Amino acid sequence: MTTISLKHIHKSFGAVAVVKELRLEIADREFLVLLGPAGCGKTTTMRMVAGLEQATQGEIAFDGARVNELPTRERDVAMVFQNYGLYPHRTVEQNIGYPLKLRGVPPAERAQRVARAAERFELGPYLQRMPRALSGGQRQRVALARSVVRQPRVFLMDEPLSNLDAKLRVIARSQIKHLVQELAVTTLYVTHDQVEAMTLAHRVAVMHEGVIRQLDTPENIYDRPADTFVAGFIGSPAMNLVPVQAAGAQVQAEGGLALRLQAPRDGALTLGMRAEDIAISGLDEAHLSAEVYTCELLGDSTMVTVQVGGQLVAVKADKALRVAAGTRIGLKLQTERAHWFDRDSGRHL
Ligand SMILES: Nc1ncnc2c1ncn2[C@@H]1O[C@H](COP(=O)(O)OP(=O)(O)OP(=O)(O)O)[C@@H](O)[C@H]1O
Ligand SMILES: [Mg+2]
């Protein structure tokens, strides 16, 4: 069993702070996804857990014991990187077996365990090949096979799927999920892809500019975003965020467009609505009316984009719907699923 604690971690490169006051407790066997846009500090955080980077301040502990000073190889972590980190001059077999060789496992046992890991990832036919003679998907499987050739304390995965095409990525994603469930190893997984985060994680830590904005289950991250950053990052499309002004019973979007909604308080607010929580309705029963900007067929649904006070808002509609650009339509919200944020702080009200 292994828990990981990051206590008040700071990391600066020179004068630039890239991770700030990070606190994170990863439970035994938890699959925790660190999610955020490019440059927010995900890889740096993972590298500190791996021991490839030193924290400027704060403590990292495995099972309560400080590991800051422990070199990578003594931390017993298995890593999978975006570029797979395979040794170019070693065969697939040597690559997979390397962690065992490093630990002095005798050749006969090594061969057995490599064969087993290779079989799991259907790499049997490629054992004598060099990495350069493999496709991206095959290299990715070699990296995974190498990470599971022994039972590590912790899995660290940094965007392991980002070099795969869309179809392979979906398959590999479910393989990783299955694998980690089966091995029951505490996992820290880094990605900027919110779909990966939602599908894989027990909990997601949404990171922005070196700070964790929300740490919660995928359901709560989606249904109860803590702020407009999280709301605008999660979901495809992301939550519609419309700046509004509320006064008394009046809610107005930019340009004076009136919304027939009850705001939780007066002032400058941001109204958040998910595309699937908005329905197209008759103008008389609508919460607001808007002009159609585009109508896109997605196969399983139709995405209607409308203009609400200078802002584009996506509406997920029935796949049979066709509506011409420029048409004025009514929109009805599921009001209990509307989100209200303070405009200045971005916090959920
Ligand atoms: N060795 C370094 N020296 C100076 N700055 C660095 C170093 N490593 C990372 N940084 C900076 O720290 C910030 C965070 O980088 P990091 O690689 O952790 O981001 P990330 O969240 O993994 O982004 P991406 O999604 O693009 O991989 C970036 O602004 C980056 O330029
Ligand atoms: Mg990175």
- pLDDT greater than 90 at residue 85: no
User: How is the chain split into domains, by residue range?
Assistant: 4-232, 237-342
What pLDDT does residue 83 have? 79
- pLDDT greater than 90 at residue 301: yes
For the chain, the average pLDDT equals: 93
Cis amide linkage into residue 37, ω under 30° from 0: no
Under CATH, to which class is 237-342 assigned? mainly beta
What pLDDT does residue 274 have? 96
Task: Report residue 55 CA to chain centroid gap.
Answer: 23
- pLDDT greater than 90 at residue 128: yes
Domain 4-232: give its CATH architecture: 3-Layer(aba) Sandwich (3.40)
Mean pLDDT of 266-294: 94
Indicate whether residue 51 lines ligand 1 (CB < 6 A).
no
- Bridge partners of 302, per DSSP, are 297, 317
- pLDDT greater than 90 at residue 82: no
- Six-digit token pair at 231? 């709301």
Q: Which of 10, 18, 193 to mutate to test the pocket of ligand 1 (most atoms within 8 A of CB)?
A: 18
HEC string for the chain: CCCEEEEEEEEEECCEEEEEEEEEEECCCCEEEEECCCCCCHHHHHHHHHCCCCCCEEEEEECCEECCCCCHHHHCEEEECCCCCCCCCCCHHHHHHHHHHHCCCCHHHHHHHHHHHHHHCCCHHHCCCCHHHCCHHHHHHHHHHHHHCCCCCEEEEECCCCCCCHHHHHHHHHHHHHHHHHHCCEEEEEECCHHHHHHHCCEEEEEECCEEEEEECHHHHHHCCCEHHHHHHCCCCCCEEEEEEEECCEEEEHHHCEECCCCCCCEEEEEEECHHHEEEECHHHCCEEEEEEEEEECCCCEEEEEEECCEEEEEEECCCCCCCCCCEEEEEECHHHCEEEECCCCEEC
CA atoms within 13 A on the CB side of 155: 33
Which residue lies with its CA nearest to atom 18 of ligand 1?
41
Q: 4-232 with 237-342: one CATH topology?
A: no
Q: Are the beta carbons of 235 and 274 closer than 8 angstroms?
A: yes
What ligand has the least distance to the C-alpha of 47?
1
Q: What is the Å distance from ligand 1's center to 278 Cα?
A: 38
What ligand has the least distance to the C-alpha of 193?
1
Radius of gyration of the chain from its Cα atoms, rounded to whole angstroms:
24
What pTM did the predictor assign?
Answer: 0.90
CA 124 to CA 196: how far, in whole Å?
Answer: 28
Q: Which atom of ligand 1 is nearest to the CA of 40?
A: 21
Mean pLDDT of 189-216: 95
pLDDT band for position 140 (50/70/90)?
confident
